[in-house]
Structure 1
C-alpha cells in the first residue's frame, strides 16, 4: 500500500467531471492510504478548530474597535485576521469535522433527505475515501459549484450524491472560518439590550414587551421561510474582506433547476443560514436608525417619526415588532419591506401578519393572547404575565393551533405507517414524538391541549387494535390493548402490552411534568 500520495488538485468544470474522477478514484483506492475514520480523536480535532476560531474572534473584536487603531494598525490586524481564516480553511481538522457534520445523519442509520433526493447510508470506509478524495483532488479556492438539474425520481438523482456532499463539506469549511467574525453581535443584541439564548427567552421577551405598551399591535414576520434574494450587492459589501469572497459569490450565483424548469435560489446549503444572519444583523442597524427602538425590559423611549416607540425582537430569522397603534404598525410593516428590499431581500407579504393582542398572534409555535379574568385560570399550569396597566387582562401563551395540527399529523402518519407492524415498533416510534413535543410546550398553558391530544391518541390506539382484530368486539380490544401498564400511575387506560414480565406502553402528553 502506498503510504504517501502527491496532491493533484483538479479544476472541476462540471458535475460529470466530479463523478468520473470519483469513480476513477474508487478503482485505485486500494493503492491510496486513506484516513482511518474510526480511529480519529475528535476531541483533539474540535479543540484545534475552537482555538483557531477563538483567535479569529478576538482579531475581529480588535478590528471592530477601529477608533483606537490607526490605518496602519487596521491593515495589520486585517491581514492577521485573513491569515487566520486561511489557516482554518486549509486545516485538516476542519475538513474532518466538517465532513462529520455534513454526514451526521448517517451515524443514526437513517436516510437523510435533502432537496429532491435522498442520501444512502454511508459506511466509514466510504467516508474515509471521500475525505481522501477531497484532500488530494479538491482545492477549496478553485471550487466551482454548478447548477444542478433535479428530477422527481430519486434513482436519477443518486448520481448527484457525491458532488453535493462535497459541496456541502466545502460550505461547512468556509462557514467555520467566516462565522466567528459575525459572532460579535450575538453577545448583546443591537436593538434589544438582552440576548436570547433559546426560544423560551425570546417568547418571554415578546410577552414582556407586550406588557409595556398600552394597546399593542403586533407584526410577525418569519423571514427564514418567506424571503427571496433578488440582489447580492449588499451582501457582497458586507463580506468583501473575506479571503475566499469569490467562492461565496459563486455559491450565490449558483441556482438549481427543478423538473418544472423553474430556477430557484439554492438556500438548502450549509452556509446560507449564516449569510441570512449577516443580512439580518445589518438590517437591525438600518432599522434602528429609522425607528426609535425600546428595549423590552425598560420603559418606552423617546417618540419617533410615528409618534411613539417600537419594540423590536428578533430570534434567529423571526422578527416581532410591538407598536402602539394600528396605523403605526402598517407604516412599520412597509418600512420593514422597504429596508429588506434595499438589502437584496424580498418578503412574501401574505406571511407578514399584523394582529391585535386581544386576537392573539403565533410566535415560535405558541399563541400569545390577552384574556379577560372571566376565564378559568385555574385550568392552566402557566399563567404568563399580568398586564401592568389593568387588572382585568391576563396574557397567556398556549400551543398554537398549527403546532397542534402538525403533531397530530405526525402521530397519525406513524400509526398509518406502522399499522401492520408489532406494537413494540409503533411505541418506539411514537413515544419520542410525544416526549419532545410535550417537553417543549410544558412551560406554557398547555394542560387542556395535552388532555385533548391524549383523547386523540386514544382514538388512534383503539382503531389500531380494532383493525388488527376485525372480528372482535370493543370490550375484547379494550382488554387486550389497554390496562395498568404504567406502574407509576393508577391509570387503566394505558396503551401497551406485557412480554416476559416486562411492561411496554405508550406515553401520554399529560404525564410529562410541566415546568412553570
Structure 2
C-alpha cells in the first residue's frame, strides 16, 4: 500500500511533464483521451480524397514487459534510485519472488505513464526524417502520420516503398534503443482499400472514396461468444435475471461502437442474439409449441413485436424490463479532443471544462432528470466536492429530506465510504 502511495505521489509530478512532452497523437493512458479520439484521428487523416493510401500496422512485442531499465533510468526525469528500486523489485507468484530485469513495474499505477514516455518521440522522428522530395520538378508529400494508443500504433505513408525502406527501419531503430522489437507476425503493411483493424474497429476505404469505421470481425466474434456463454451459463435463471445480466453487456458494446458506421452490424448481431434467446426459451419448455413459448417470453412494446421482456412484478402497475434492442443505439458523431491541448495548462482549462460538460450531457442524453440533478449540484459530488464527469464512476443515491425523496449523484467510491460509516 505504501509503495502504491509513493508511486501515486511521483506520478502527480511526472504526469504534467509527460503531457507536455508527449506525442500530440498519442491517446492511450492520458487524461481526457480515449480510444475514440484515436479512431477519429485515423478518420481525419484517411478520409480525404488526397489521403495516404498505405498503412503500417505496428505491434510491439511485450511492450510493458521488455522496456529497457537502463533507458528508463537515463531518460525519465525523476529520482533515479527510487525508479531503479521500482523497476527491479520483481513480483510474487505462488509465494515465490521473481526478479525483473526489464519492463515497467508489474501492476504499478505509474507503469502506463513510463511506457508512454518511452514511446514518445516517434512522431517527431518520423516527421523530421521523412521529408518532401521532388520528381520531375513536382513536390511529393510523403503523407506521414502517426496515431498511437499505448503500444498499438499505425503509421501512414503515400506509398509502400516509403514504409518498407524508410519508416520501418526508423521504427525498429527507435524501439531497439528502448529494448523493444516489433512482432514480425503481427506487424503488417496494408493498403487502405483492403482495410485494417485498430482498437476494435475495421477502417477501410471503398471505391467511391468513402471511408468507413465498423466493428472488426474479431470484435463481433468475441461479443457473440460472450453473449452465448452468458446465456448457456444461465439456463435455469428467471427471464428477468437473464435480461439484467445481458443488458449491460449489450449496451456497453453498442455504446462503444455507436461512433462508427455500425447500423448494419447492429442488426445482424441482434439477429444472432435473438436466435440464442429463442433457443434458451425453447429449451426450457420442450413439450410446448412455438406459439406458447412466444406468448410467454415475448411482448409487443412500443409498436415492436417479439421483444424479449419480463414483468417486473409490481403490484400497482404492469411494468416490463426489456432486453436491449441493439439497433436502437443510434450513431453519434464523436468530437475529438484537441491534440495540442494540455490538461495542466491554465490556458486550456475552459476548453476541458466545456468538453467534459459536453461529453457528460452526451452520456445523460435522454435522461433530463439526471441532467437537472447534475446541474443542481453545480456538477460536483456533494461528498468530496470534486467534479462529476465521465472520468470517474458515479452512481445515484436517494435520501429522505423533509419528508421528500431527494436524488443526488455521487462518486461510487464516495458512496462506498458513506455506506461503510452506517
Q: Same fold (TM over 0.5)?
A: yes
1:351 is paired with a residue whose SS is coil
Q: Which has the higher contact order (CA 8 A, sep 6+)?
A: 2
1:422 aligns with 2:238: yes
C-alpha displacement of 1:317: 3.4
1:19 aligned residue: none
Residue of structure 2 equivalent to 1:448: 264
1:279 correspondence with 2:121:
no
1:462 alignment partner, one of 278, 296, 301: 278
- Contact (CA 8 Å) 1:213, 1:323: kept in 2 or not? no
CA distance in 2, matches of 1:189, 1:404: 27
How far residue 365 of structure 1 moved from its aligned partner, in angstroms, is: 1.5
Distance 1:361 1:507 in 2: 30
Pairing 1:69-218 to 2, within 5 Å after superposition: 165-185=1-21, 188=24, 197-210=33-46, 211=48, 213=50, 216-218=53-55
With over 3 angstroms needed to count, the CA separation of the structure-2 counterparts of 1:350 and 1:472, relative to structure 1, is same
Q: 1:118 maps to what in 2? A: none
Query: What does 1:474-489 correspond to in 2, within 5 Å?
Result: 474-484=290-300, 486=301, 489=302
CA-to-aligned-CA distance 1:380-423 (integer Å, 9 cap, x gap): xxxxxxxxxxxx32221111111111211222222123322222
Contact 1:302/1:309 (CA < 8 Å) preserved in 2?
no
Residues 342-385 of structure 1, C-alpha deviation per residue, up to 9 Å, x if partnerless?
1222232222221111110012211111113xxxxxxxxxxxxx
Structure with the higher strand share, 1 or 2? 2
Contact kept, 8 Å, 1:230 with 1:346, in 2: the verdict is no
Whole-angstrom CA distance in 1 between matches of 2:87 and 2:113: 13
- Give 1:515's aligned residue: 332
Report how many aligned residue pairs link the two structures.
Answer: 315
Take 1:254 and 1:285, find their aligned partners in 2: how far apart are those partners?
Answer: 33
Deviation at 1:261?
A: 10
CA shift, 1:232, in A, is 1.8
Give the deviation of 1:209 after TM superposition: 1.9
Provide the rounded CA distance (Å) in 1 between the counterparts of 2:321 and 2:51: 52
What's the RMSD between the two structures over aligned residues?
3.1
TM-score (norm 1): 0.55
- The 3 A distance-change label for structure 1 pair 478 and 274 is same
Q: In 2, Cα distance between the equivalents of 1:466 and 1:446?
A: 30
Counterpart CA distance in 1 for 2:326 and 2:246 is 11
**Equivalent position SS for 1:349:** coil
Q: 2:306 is matched with which residue?
A: 493
Q: Deviations over 1:405-442 (max 9, x none)?
A: 12112222221233222222221121111112112212
What displacement does 1:283 show?
A: 3.5
Change (3 A) 1:182 1:173: same
Q: Match of 1:354?
A: 189
**1:462 CA displacement:** 1.2
The separation in 2 between residues aligned to 1:435 and 1:443, in whole angstroms, is 13
Partner-residue secondary structure (3-state), 1:183: helix
Q: Which moved more, 1:315-324 or 1:402-411?
A: 315-324
Q: Which 4+ runs in 1 deviate beyond 6 A?
A: 259-264
Describe the shift of the 1:313–1:204 C-alpha distance in structure 2 as closer, same or farther (beyond 3 A). same
Moved more, 425-434 or 446-455: 425-434
Matched with 1:503 is 320
Which runs of 5 or more residues in structure 1 are unaligned? 1-164, 293-300, 373-391
Aligned with residue 152 of structure 2, among 318, 330, 333? 318
The answer to whether the 8 Å contact 2:230/2:246 transfers is yes
Q: 354, 364, 373: which one pairs with 2:199?
A: 364
Unaligned runs of 5+ in 2: 334-422
Q: Is the 8 A contact 1:226 1:348 kept in 2?
A: no
**Distance in 2 (alpha carbons) for counterparts of 1:458 and 1:189:** 40
- Structure 1 residues 322 and 188 mapped into 2: Cα distance closer, same or farther (>3 Å)? closer
Residue 232 of structure 1 is matched in structure 2 by 69
Q: Does the Cα contact within 8 Å between 1:226 and 1:351 map onto a contact in 2?
A: no
Matched-pair contact (CA < 8 Å) for 1:217–1:322: yes
Q: How far did residue 443 of structure 1 move?
A: 2.3
Larger Rg: 1
How much has 1:229 moved relative to structure 2?
1.6
For the Cα contact (< 8 Å) 1:287–1:339, is it kept in 2?
Answer: no
SS of match in other structure, 1:493? strand
CA contact (8 A) 2:22 2:117 kept: no
Query: Tell me, what secondary structure is at the counterpart of 2:330?
Result: coil
What is the deviation of 1:269? 2.3
1:446 Cα deviation from its structure 2 partner = 0.9
Q: For the structure 1 residues 230 and 398, does the alpha-carbon distance in structure 2 shift closer, same or farther, using more than 3 Å as the test?
A: closer
Q: Deviations over 1:220-260 (max 9, x none)?
A: 22449656425222211222x423x3222122223336579
The answer as to whether partners of 2:201 and 2:214 remain within 8 angstroms in 1 is yes
The within-5 A match list for 1:379-458 is: 392-458=208-274
